[in-house]
Structure 1
């Protein structure tokens, strides 16, 4: 168990940035939130809406009020995390969220409230405090709708980002289970992401006719220009998964799948000097475990969020695409952490782009994606930063895994360097239906495969990014 002090334990007096968000009832249109920056005595009203019409396609004729509350909670978390500035002056945030819901007694009860606040503290590095009040407002259209729509029976419900992992994961599952239908759930507030989700899903549907069904619930700001928003939402993965859980529940399922390679999901830190590099916990195994616990507590029955690719590298996920010669599909997807406004859009040198390029190279898939670093007219000042840190981590992993041939000693070495791996096994082995020793073995094999893949393609990925000095610096980790 992680013994690191919580955000609440770290805060002393006023040593944080305090924000309050008073939400009006979440609506399809004309909803709003009053955002208060307490430290600057600044207040602004921002419009926020959710288009949940897609939830009209469901197994259940009636729409449970508690599921509607789950949707409203996800919308409030999304808006709060986007509106409250991230860690100004090195101080953590404290967000007080006032939200009207249909069942305030359930959302205010323990242990739900504690589980929710702990999840968000873990995912965002901020302290969250909720004040659930009684909602008095007309219901959204989908809540009133009682018509039973045609939906696939016995389906697998999965989050759908339109990214390479989502594509490769879905393609692999479609081949593994040729009779199973799939419901893909997407969300977000970006028109470009929304369009890409549809384009990639449409292409997959043309390859596997009648087996994929895309449903999306976008969250939109309006009248919000007065308040600058965070470009990266630390709570993005939590919001996506909570809404996906609502979709799965309405489809009669009690499991939501997330397709993400294990390297990216666990997202081990590179090294102590890698300050400022993103280490998102969006689909971390413990995040998925905690979201499942929060949803189970609220709904009063067991609900699970499952990543069937936790022990797969990104290259292994792409193997099915390679076997079928589907070089045409990866260029449809987006992986970049910092998309450019002009073509090429994807940078090719952030950690997500590099892992994408490594995976496609390791599976001999011709990468038709255009990247700034390979096809752009101007390079950034430090295009090698992320690659140097990634290669330093690979060097560390190689040393740890080669220190002994005994799995228990390899695990001991790995967890001494990365103690969070012990937490993943201690809390996740039961969820994965594995003995702790078996889960340790599978994680060791995951990182062994990852190192081998880099050994095979490092020189190819480094072209144009690393000079000899950079390469030597990246290797000085063992």
Structure 2
């Protein structure tokens, strides 16, 4: 069933336009209010306290841009996309129509302008569409600032000086970027950040304090507070449009300092973000610093400024390990511990009270491997779960690590031609923003980037082993060393799922049938179905790309509509049945499924009619994409 994903957002007292009346029910119309003089204010964008000499340099349309970006960000957080297992584009992506008052109405009402804005937002967010109804802003508009003013002398903003402008998040990549600017230029560096909650604010203040101590008098810091009010928790945590707000703030600051470029810092693997799993398609695969995103935003900002504006991305061809290594190169590794990379800081950590990172989200895993690969692990943060020394705390943690290593293994074994064919569509998005004669060179550089990333992962793992593991120590169950030694990451997800299901049924099915008489295959399938449904939530957590539709139909059970299909067939070997009949049935079943689908055959043989299990399974498993599990 298709979900209605349409929403209308009315901003700062704008009335519903006649053309939209009756289009959607009231619960799909969201009202956002930022202006202090209006009632029911539910968001705050602190467009004040900016240096008095700089506010005059912020054109009206740029101030409009900040407010537009803030409304979009607030709506993004308040309008639910759907559950995390909804990977279908039509269910997860939204259709958003914004009604926004602006100061420079003549500029914003141009179709070319709104189209550029919509195109950038659709790509960065993964949503279906963005539409805009602009009206002239009326009411008081006090001449107030845009940012908090920290350590900024308003009389020193000489437009003839060059001030590198950089986005700064409090993360490891942005730290390395700011340090690289400070080390390679002699001028002051201007940084800006978006603060949405107390936790983020605390981290950014801590990193800023560490930078200021290391580089006294070299930084000018202008953070912007933009958040929901009344302490309500957002219903949507993906925050894909946060980067649009973030870069809009950077663009406004660049204009205030008479600069025509902005620096953003993120390693190329994270920026390009070739999907590891099917559940990371569309909006769930972050595109925030993707080259296409930056190209589309450059077009928007250039239209607003009336001249060419450039977004620099110096780390696009660097791995996380290479980015971290810059801090070693500039002899600033002591700054690392102040940064936070984790996506789960809103959770309360249980194992270590001083932990700043969960240790098992995808960002923590990436950071941990990079630190070991760069031989900087002693400078790293405190993790609630230590990947290098502890057993996984749950299925989610194991899944992130297996996917991460599988991803690296894929690129380590992928030649250039295969890389191009496999990732044709995402590479097209990348090369679209290259010079035509540089497209092949760029793809080759990206292939090399991913191969260097894979080598860094292997180097990091070898260092973990050398530091924490030994053949003279007992193996640690459910640890990264057990996973790597089993080479689980070298098997596709459907095969791993088949193995896990087979292991579970081998243990539980004999117990379930101990006091039950099975007379036919349907009764056997009913028992299997009950056991699969019991563990369904665990399987969905471990295999989020594989959705389950267990049922006693042909195939008996299945998990399909994902990047790897698994079909499960149950066979009951009766007392009077010859094993050859079962082999004929399996052979016939193998012929009816697609070659790419993985098959699991559950053969229930309580009378031990099959004398040689390995011989029975060997030929099928060697020649076909399947697993055969004999259970008694």
2:422 to 417, 430, 442: 417
Counterpart for residue 185 of structure 1: 192
Native 8 Å contact 1:56 1:149 kept in 2: no
1:17 lines up with 2:28 in the alignment: no
Judging changes above 3 Å, is the alpha-carbon distance between structure 1 residues 58 and 269 closer, same or farther for their aligned structure 2 residues?
farther
1:132 lines up with 2:155 in the alignment: no
What do residues 75-111 of structure 1 show as CA deviations (whole Å, max 9, x unaligned)? Answer: 1111110111113673532222111001222112121
CA distance in 1, matches of 2:63, 2:412: 48
Judging changes above 3 Å, is the alpha-carbon distance between structure 1 residues 459 and 477 closer, same or farther for their aligned structure 2 residues?
farther
Judging changes above 3 Å, is the alpha-carbon distance between structure 1 residues 173 and 25 closer, same or farther for their aligned structure 2 residues?
farther
Q: Secondary structure at the match of 2:6?
A: strand
Counterpart for residue 473 of structure 1: 488
CA distance in 2, matches of 1:334, 1:285: 24
Question: How do 1:365-384 residues align onto structure 2 when only pairs under 5 Å count?
Answer: 365=376, 366-374=378-386, 379-384=393-398
Counterpart for residue 362 of structure 1: 373
Counterpart for residue 235 of structure 1: 241
Question: How do 1:397-408 residues align onto structure 2 when only pairs under 5 Å count?
Answer: 397-401=411-415
Question: How do 1:195-234 residues align onto structure 2 when only pairs under 5 Å count?
Answer: 195-223=202-230, 225=232, 228-234=234-240
What do residues 372-395 of structure 1 show as CA deviations (whole Å, max 9, x unaligned)? Answer: 212999923431111111111111
Deviation at 1:60, TM superposition (A): 7.1
Q: Secondary structure at the match of 1:111?
A: helix
CA distance in 2, matches of 1:325, 1:235: 35
1:86 lines up with 2:74 in the alignment: no
What do residues 20-76 of structure 1 show as CA deviations (whole Å, max 9, x unaligned)? Answer: 2111179xxxxxxxxx98474676655212113354366574431111111111111
1:53 lines up with 2:48 in the alignment: yes
CA distance in 1, matches of 2:171, 2:52: 24
Judging changes above 3 Å, is the alpha-carbon distance between structure 1 residues 338 and 460 closer, same or farther for their aligned structure 2 residues?
farther
CA distance in 1, matches of 2:425, 2:157: 40
Structure 1, 100-109 or 369-378: larger mean CA deviation: 369-378
Judging changes above 3 Å, is the alpha-carbon distance between structure 1 residues 141 and 260 closer, same or farther for their aligned structure 2 residues?
same
CA distance in 2, matches of 1:293, 1:276: 22
Question: How do 1:310-389 residues align onto structure 2 when only pairs under 5 Å count?
Answer: 310-339=316-345, 340-342=347-349, 343=353, 344-365=355-376, 366-374=378-386, 379-389=393-403
Give TM-score, length-normalised by structure 2. 0.64
Judging changes above 3 Å, is the alpha-carbon distance between structure 1 residues 60 and 135 closer, same or farther for their aligned structure 2 residues?
closer
Judging changes above 3 Å, is the alpha-carbon distance between structure 1 residues 399 and 368 closer, same or farther for their aligned structure 2 residues?
closer
1:282 to 272, 283, 288: 288
Give TM-score, length-normalised by structure 1. 0.84
Judging changes above 3 Å, is the alpha-carbon distance between structure 1 residues 420 and 200 closer, same or farther for their aligned structure 2 residues?
farther
Native 8 Å contact 1:168 1:320 kept in 2: yes
Question: How do 1:239-278 residues align onto structure 2 when only pairs under 5 Å count?
Answer: 239-272=245-278, 278=284
Unaligned runs of at least 5 residues, structure 1: 1-11, 27-35, 402-409
CA distance in 1, matches of 2:305, 2:247: 15
CA distance in 1, matches of 2:452, 2:146: 51
1:396 lines up with 2:407 in the alignment: no
Question: How do 1:145-164 residues align onto structure 2 when only pairs under 5 Å count?
Answer: 149-151=155-157, 153-164=161-172
CA RMSD, Structure 1 to Structure 2 (Å): 3.2
Native 8 Å contact 1:172 1:317 kept in 2: no
Deviation at 1:451, TM superposition (A): 1.3
Native 8 Å contact 1:286 1:428 kept in 2: yes
CA distance in 2, matches of 1:265, 1:91: 22
Q: Secondary structure at the match of 1:20?
A: strand
CA distance in 1, matches of 2:441, 2:120: 27
Counterpart for residue 177 of structure 2: 169
What do residues 383-426 of structure 1 show as CA deviations (whole Å, max 9, x unaligned)? Answer: 1111111111111111113xxxxxxxx1x321211124532442
CA distance in 1, matches of 2:262, 2:43: 26
What do residues 230-283 of structure 1 show as CA deviations (whole Å, max 9, x unaligned)? Answer: 223111112111121111111111111101111111111014476899521111
Counterpart for residue 437 of structure 1: 440
Native 8 Å contact 1:59 1:149 kept in 2: no
Native 8 Å contact 2:170 2:340 kept in 1: yes
Count residues with an aligned counterpart.
Answer: 443
Structure 1, 375-384 or 412-421: larger mean CA deviation: 375-384
CA distance in 2, matches of 1:329, 1:62: 34
Structure possessing the higher relative contact order (Cα contacts under 8 Å, 6 or more residues apart): 1
Larger Rg over CA atoms:
2
Q: Secondary structure at the match of 1:281?
A: coil
Judging changes above 3 Å, is the alpha-carbon distance between structure 1 residues 159 and 54 closer, same or farther for their aligned structure 2 residues?
farther
Counterpart for residue 30 of structure 1: none
Counterpart for residue 431 of structure 2: 426
